[in-house]
């Protein structure tokens, strides 16, 4: 890139402008410095260091074994390779629900490792933490719908918000998170029509993963996008390596598909 076309770093102010302009926001998981550079070159807006690393990087069956030290390590790796993306780090299971002071300390560790924002699962029950972190200057992303850290309580990988009461809970949780200061909210495995209504009710972006085309943006797990994750393929994923000559081209095709509202298609939604 020359100076005239040099990409500017994506920050919260950038995301807000994109949201207000109706430009879809592209999020993708990232776990190391090399792929951080690839995602920069491909035009990814937000790099999510997801606790999904427990499954795709460490080989666990769930995200539950991931530790705060794991999250700090991978966040630092991504940050070192990052030039342009907004770096968003997950708070792992057990790092934020037991003790609020400990949760704040863990969020600080992630920010010191290079995160620009932290994400944690839950609705009304995590709003006090969201409020406290945002008051401290730590931006927060919420995560509702299917919440992987609650897989044992949910009883499996099921779509959330299919009933009227479920939809009302999603709406109440997202509105509460917004009021508590969250800057955006991930909607995972939520019926497309419900995700649309939730998105329209909020004044902050929603990022869908199995939430349909009408969310403010989309997120995928990098390994799913590349078609290299073993096991059953989730409905909401697409192998962007098909027809691509390189990993960089596959990621760029994902970015283009989200920006042009070509992904997700109906077959990727619930």
Q: How many Å apart are CA 253 and CA 244, to the nearest integer?
A: 8
Q: In this structure, how many other beta carbons lie within 10 angstroms of the beta carbon of residue 40?
A: 20
Strand partners, 188: 145, 209
Distances (CA, A) of 146 to 3, 78, 106, 109, 134: 43, 26, 23, 26, 24
| 16 annotated as a binding-site residue | no
| 52 annotated as a binding-site residue | yes
CA 132 to chain centre: 21
Verify whether residue 188 is a known catalytic residue: yes
Distances (CA, A) of 68 to 79, 92, 166, 258: 16, 6, 31, 31
Cis geometry, peptide bond prior to residue 264 (ω within 30 degrees of 0): yes
| 119 annotated as a binding-site residue | yes
| 90 annotated as a binding-site residue | yes
Q: How many Å apart are CA 241 and CA 181, to the nearest integer?
A: 37
DSSP string of 197-218?
Answer: HHHHH-SS-EEEESS-TTSSEE
Q: Which is catalytic among the residues 167, 188, 242, 249?
A: 188
Residues 41, 83: contact at Cβ < 8 Å? no
* DSSP state for residue 113 in the 8-state scheme: T
Distances (CA, A) of 208 to 7, 43, 195, 218: 25, 18, 8, 5
Active site residues: 188
- Which residues participate in the annotated binding site? 51-52, 90, 119, 121
- Which residues participate in the annotated binding site for 3-methyl-2-oxobutanoate? 51-52, 90, 119
């Amino acid at each position: 890139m020359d100076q005239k076309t040099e990409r500017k770093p994506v920050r919260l102010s950038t995301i807000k402008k994109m949201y207000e302009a109706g430009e879809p926001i592209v999020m993708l998981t990232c776990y190391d410095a090399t792929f951080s550079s690839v995602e920069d070159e491909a035009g990814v807006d937000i790099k999510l260091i997801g606790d999904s690393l427990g499954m795709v990087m460490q080989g666990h069956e769930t995200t539950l074994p991931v530790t705060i030290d794991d999250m700090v390590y991978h966040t630092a790796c991504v940050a070192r390779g990052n030039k342009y993306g907004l770096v968003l780090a997950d708070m792992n299971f057990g790092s934020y629900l037991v003790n609020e002071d400990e949760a704040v300390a863990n969020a600080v560790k992630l920010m010191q490792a290079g995160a620009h924002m932290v994400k944690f699962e839950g609705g009304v029950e995590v709003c006090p933490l969201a409020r406290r972190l945002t008051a401290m200057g730590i931006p927060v992303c919420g995560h509702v719908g299917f919440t992987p850290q609650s897989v044992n309580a949910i009883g499996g990988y099921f779509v959330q918000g299919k009933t009227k009461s479920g939809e009302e809970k999603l709406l109440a949780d997202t509105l509460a998170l917004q009021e508590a200061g969250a800057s955006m909210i991930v909607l995972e495995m939520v019926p497309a029509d419900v995700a649309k209504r939730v998105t329209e009710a909020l004044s902050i972006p929603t990022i869908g993963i199995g939430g349909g085309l009408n969310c403010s943006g989309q997120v995928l797990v990098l390994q799913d996008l590349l078609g290299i994750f073993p096991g059953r393929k989730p409905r909401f994923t697409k192998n962007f390596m098909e027809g691509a000559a390189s990993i960089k081209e596959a990621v760029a095709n994902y970015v283009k598909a989200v920006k042009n509202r070509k992904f997700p298609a109906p077959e990727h939604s619930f």
